[in-house]
């Protein structure tokens, strides 16, 4: 997960439409808590799909996907065995996540704040939520900038845009200029997610890394290496939906998928 912008240890951690984006997906026995990590670097150059130099082996039922060593890949991506994501595999790792009291209690604390202060107009309420999401979900905003970010959110007519499920809201929170704080994309996805689980999947480097490994193994979508980290939220959400469709996870919610990806990666 990496460390946050203040050098602290990271914290634990998916519009939940079906794979065609036309109806709400269903949580399959999941409690209302979950998140994590940080942002990554610039957009890369590699093409999506079955990348040159990657050999994929699978057993006869395609339940496991083997990534062979890729020349010049970092050690963490060499010889990693990926299991094909199925509803039962997702549920297995969601259950593991929800057996971690630290993760569950952190999620419950944020849920309590959002339920108590659902709107985003009063600075004292927004300040509490910004601080909690940033700290408990390692969202990467500098402590000295938390107040400025809260003031920004109060100025953006956030509640109406959340109600509409506006993807542009993520960009507004992430990229409206604040002096001394220019790393808010991860935070913006997490803050919106906590207010609308059904509309905003979480982005961070943990999800990005694992999605790219599945892309190299199976080519579940068409995108270049680094596209996930380009801070293009509509693109990212579309890739998440393609992942769910490709692997038959239309009934798995964004929230469940996020728990699976984070826990499966080693959270």
CA distance 161 to 151: 17
Mean pLDDT for all residues in the chain: 78
The predicted-structure confidence for 178-187, as pLDDT tens digits, reads as follows 987 888 999 9
| pLDDT > 70: percent of the chain | 69
Between 63 and 194, where is the model more confident? 194
Burial class of residue 225 in the structure, from the number of CB atoms within 10 Å of its CB (0-12 exposed, 13-18 middle, 19+ buried): middle
Spatial contact of 250 and 266, defined as CB atoms under 8 Å apart = no
User: Looking up tokens 């845009």, which residue turns up?
Assistant: 161
Range in 7-11, 99-103, 227-231, 242-246 the model is least confident about: 7-11
pLDDT of residue 160: 97
Tokens of 189: 């996805």
> What's the predicted TM-score (pTM) here?
0.73
The predicted-structure confidence for 89-127, as pLDDT tens digits, reads as follows 999 999 999 999 999 999 999 999 999 999 999 999 999
Spatial contact of 240 and 17, defined as CB atoms under 8 Å apart = no
- pLDDT (average), residues 7-17: 41
The predicted-structure confidence for 135-181, as pLDDT tens digits, reads as follows 999 999 999 999 999 999 999 999 999 999 999 999 999 999 998 78
Spatial contact of 9 and 250, defined as CB atoms under 8 Å apart = no
- CB count in 10 Å sphere of residue 158: 22
The Cα-based distances of 133 to 16, 60, 62, 200 in angstroms read 20, 43, 38, 15
The predicted-structure confidence for 125-136, as pLDDT tens digits, reads as follows 999 999 999 999
Where would I find the H helices in the chain? 87-97, 101-116, 123-136, 146-154, 158-164, 168-175, 185-195, 205-218, 233-246, 254-265
Q: Which H helix or E strand runs over 64?
A: strand 64-67
Max CA-CA distance within the chain?
57
Nearest to 14 by CA among 226, 249, 256, 260: 256
Between 57 and 199, where is the model more confident? 199
Spatial contact of 228 and 236, defined as CB atoms under 8 Å apart = yes
- pLDDT (average), residues 244-255: 96
Percentages helix, strand, coil for the chain (3-state, rounded to 5) are 45, 5, 50
pLDDT of residue 28: 38
Range in 58-62, 111-115, 211-215 the model is least confident about: 58-62
């Amino acid at each position: 997960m990496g460390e946050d912008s203040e050098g602290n240890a990271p914290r634990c951690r998916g519009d939940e439409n079906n794979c065609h984006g036309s109806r709400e997906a269903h949580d399959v026995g999941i409690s209302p808590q979950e998140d994590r990590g940080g942002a990554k670097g610039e957009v890369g150059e590699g093409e999506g799909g079955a990348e040159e130099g990657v050999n994929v082996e699978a057993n006869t039922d395609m339940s496991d996907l083997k990534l062979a060593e890729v020349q010049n890949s970092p050690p963490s991506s060499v010889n990693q065995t990926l299991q094909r994501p199925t509803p039962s595999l997702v549920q297995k790792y969601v259950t593991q996540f929800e057996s971690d009291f630290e993760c569950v209690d952190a999620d419950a604390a944020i849920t309590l704040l959002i339920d108590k202060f659902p709107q985003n107009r009063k600075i004292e309420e927004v300040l509490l939520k910004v601080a909690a999401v940033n700290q408990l979900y390692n969202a990467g905003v500098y402590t000295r900038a938390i107040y400025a970010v809260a003031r920004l959110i109060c100025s953006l007519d956030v509640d109406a845009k959340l109600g509409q499920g506006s993807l542009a809201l993520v960009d507004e929170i992430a990229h409206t200029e604040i002096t001394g704080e220019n790393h808010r994309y991860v935070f913006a996805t997490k803050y919106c997610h906590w207010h609308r689980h059904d509309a905003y999947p979480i982005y961070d480097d943990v999800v990005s890394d694992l999605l790219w490994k599945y892309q190299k193994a199976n080519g579940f979508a068409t995108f270049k290496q680094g596209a996930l980290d380009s801070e293009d939220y509509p693109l990212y959400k579309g890739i998440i939906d393609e992942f769910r469709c490709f692997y038959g996870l239309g009934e798995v919610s964004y929230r469940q998928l996020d728990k699976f990806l984070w826990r499966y990666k080693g959270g």
